[in-house]
Homo-oligomer: A and B are copies of this chain.
């Protein structure tokens, strides 16, 4: 089966977590909105499904079409894909643990978004810059250490090199992406945190070196971080 991913074509965003899972597994997929409209792609194809008059309708991208299934909400898409892509162990306890960790990593993504849009997603960043500076400060000094400290501790208590133990899961890919995003958005803030997350940094390198993922990260399919995405580099929001 060829999976169809629907997500904004110009950013990594939450869709990147799905892309990472598909790429790591070498799954066949189409990143629909990145195709030209003449090939059934573009944002229009995505929005059409969000305005469907019957069946399951997503609230927002990313969503995935897998045969007859239409699956929306990032953690839900990962929940569906992971067992099919070999990205989660078979036993229920491990699956619940993976989902818990991925949901927690996605909470970081949400909070990272709100550093540049603390007041309203409908307003420009420039119109909430003052508030963004305050929110980013508390995010960098309180939230990042708390979240990353939690994942570091999970690795310390793991029986292997990955969050769940000896085998990689989508939780590792998700935490990897969070680290890359935070590094992009808050390079100074992360410099200060990094010496306390050595195991996480090892995990990040281990994930980045997975052969298929390394090829993906070096390819043009990996959209660079940018200031339309969730993780944005605004120097004024970073630690000085």
Contact = CB atoms under 8 A, between A and B. Distances in A.
Interface in A84-101: 92-93, 96-97, 99-100
Nearest to A158: B54
Contact of A99 (B73, B123, B135): B73
Contact of A119 (B92, B110, B138): B138
Given A57-B154, A153-B57, A119 B135 contact: yes
Contact of A118 (B79, B123, B135): B135
Nearest to A130: B131
Interface string A113-155: 0100011111100000001001100100010000100100110
Task: Give the dominant DSSP class at A's interface.
Answer: helix
Interface string A152-175: 011001000000000000000000
Task: Name which of A75, A96, A103, A153 has the most chain B CB atoms within 10 A of its CB.
Answer: A96
A129 B188 CA distance: 29
A128 to B, nearest CB: 8
Shortest beta-carbon contacts, A-B, top 3: A120-B138, A73-B103, A73-B100
Interface of A: 53-59, 68-69, 71-73, 75-76, 79-80, 92-93, 96-97, 99-100, 103-104, 110, 114, 118-123, 131, 134-135, 138, 142, 147, 150, 153-154, 157
30 contacts: A53-B157, A54-B157, A55-B157, A56-B97, A56-B100, A57-B150, A57-B154, A57-B157, A58-B100, A59-B147, A68-B93, A69-B92, A69-B93, A71-B100, A72-B100, A73-B99, A73-B104, A75-B103, A76-B96, A76-B99, A79-B96, A110-B110, A114-B114, A114-B118, A118-B118, A118-B119, A118-B135, A119-B134, A123-B138, A131-B131
